[in-house]
Structure 1
Amino acid sequence: MIHIRRAELSDAAQIQRVYASSGTYAGTLQLPHPSLDMWQEKLRHFPVDDVLLVAIYDGVIVGTAGLHTEKKQRRAHAATLGIGVADSFAGRGVGTALLTELLEFADNWLPVLRIELHVFCDNAAAVHLYQKFGFEIEGTHRAHALRHGNYADVYSMARLHPRQPLLPLQQR
């Protein structure tokens, strides 16, 4: 069974191992060979308004999902989503478990109307996962990121809150 919780500083070594998986860093904008110091520093200075969850299977962290809120006032209703799953756990429900919990958190506890992400166009499994949760492709960014020596395209995807929250005056 997969257990989801917030990431802690003591998780740095296990998160570093997740992102050392070749499929994980190739599917994200992470670079190969992440250091433990880099992950400790990231977790130490993780913005308090953002959320980083870890997926744990049999006591081992096998994936992460983050929600990064926009800091500009006019974009405060939006957040960016990122997920990474260890290669050995791809296709085993980790992404679904992380996304379920992260979206429940965003929809019920944060003033987030819009969640955005980028996903490599050739990552059919990830595109399918996001579409299963209501994300829609809004466009294609050509030559968005360098990956394996080639520039790769990404889809820009987004999801609006399924029950667009009413403002207090609208609830009367």
Structure 2
Amino acid sequence: MTEAPVFTLRAGRIEDAAGVTELHSQSRFRWGTLRPRYPSLDAVRKWLETRSLDNPYIVAEAEGRIIGDAGLELGKGRRAHAAELGMGVHDAWQGRGVGTALLAAVIDTADNWMNLKRLELTVWTDNAPALALYRKFGFVEEGVLRAYAYRDGAYVDALAMARLRGIG
């Protein structure tokens, strides 16, 4: 019998800048996002310093290293009931429950602490593991975004997905 991997979830901090930069430098992590190829430590530090404290940001940590992150960007005004979700897992930790734990924590925060009604995201149409995870948590496809972004020398499509809570 194998032991479950040990990691913890906690709020992200400014002091995590180097670990977040390393996480965002992972090739598989980056492949699933719109992040630039060579993230700068200064840019990550500035993002951590200036992000709104109203936007939850959670990191997964194991053995003193950041192995995943997830956050919500809250809507404003007439979109105050919604938030955009972004997340990713370190290449070496994919498929080991980190994404599931992060997504569960973000959804719990959205539902039980912020009373959000709509969580939305975009995901590449060819990212089968992410699609399976999002569907497991009740996200549904709302549309295909054709030629959404340029990745690995070609334009790729994305799915717009959302999870609605307590709405008709």
With normalisation by structure 2, the TM-score equals 0.94
Match for residue 51 of structure 2 among 46, 51, 55: 46
Q: CA RMSD in A?
A: 1.0
Q: Which runs of 4+ in 1 moved over 2 A?
A: none
CA positional deviation for 1:102? 0.8
Q: What is the rounded CA distance, in whole Å, between the counterparts of 1:48 and 1:95 in structure 2?
A: 22
Q: What is the rounded CA distance, in whole Å, between the counterparts of 2:90 and 2:43 in structure 1?
A: 18
Q: What is the rounded CA distance, in whole Å, between the counterparts of 2:72 and 2:79 in structure 1?
A: 14
The match for 2:60 is: 55
> CA offsets, 1:90-139, max 9 Å, x none?
11111001001111111100031000000000000000000000000111
Match for residue 31 of structure 1 among 31, 36, 49: 36
Give unmatched runs, 5+ long, in structure 2. 1-5
With normalisation by structure 1, the TM-score equals 0.92
CA positional deviation for 1:24? 1.0
User: 2:22 aligned with 1:20, yes or no?
Assistant: no
Output aligned runs, 1:117-132, within 5 Å: 117-132=121-136
CA positional deviation for 1:153? 0.2
The match for 2:3 is: none
Give unmatched runs, 5+ long, in structure 1. 166-172
Q: What is the rounded CA distance, in whole Å, between the counterparts of 2:92 and 2:70 in structure 1?
A: 17
Match for residue 112 of structure 1 among 95, 101, 116: 116
Task: Tell me how many residue pairs correspond in the alignment.
Answer: 162
The match for 1:81 is: 85
Output aligned runs, 1:143-154, within 5 Å: 143-154=147-158
Q: What is the rounded CA distance, in whole Å, between the counterparts of 2:48 and 2:149 in structure 1?
A: 24
CA positional deviation for 1:14? 0.2
Contact 1:79 1:116 in 2 (8 A): yes
Match for residue 2 of structure 1 among 7, 27, 38: 7
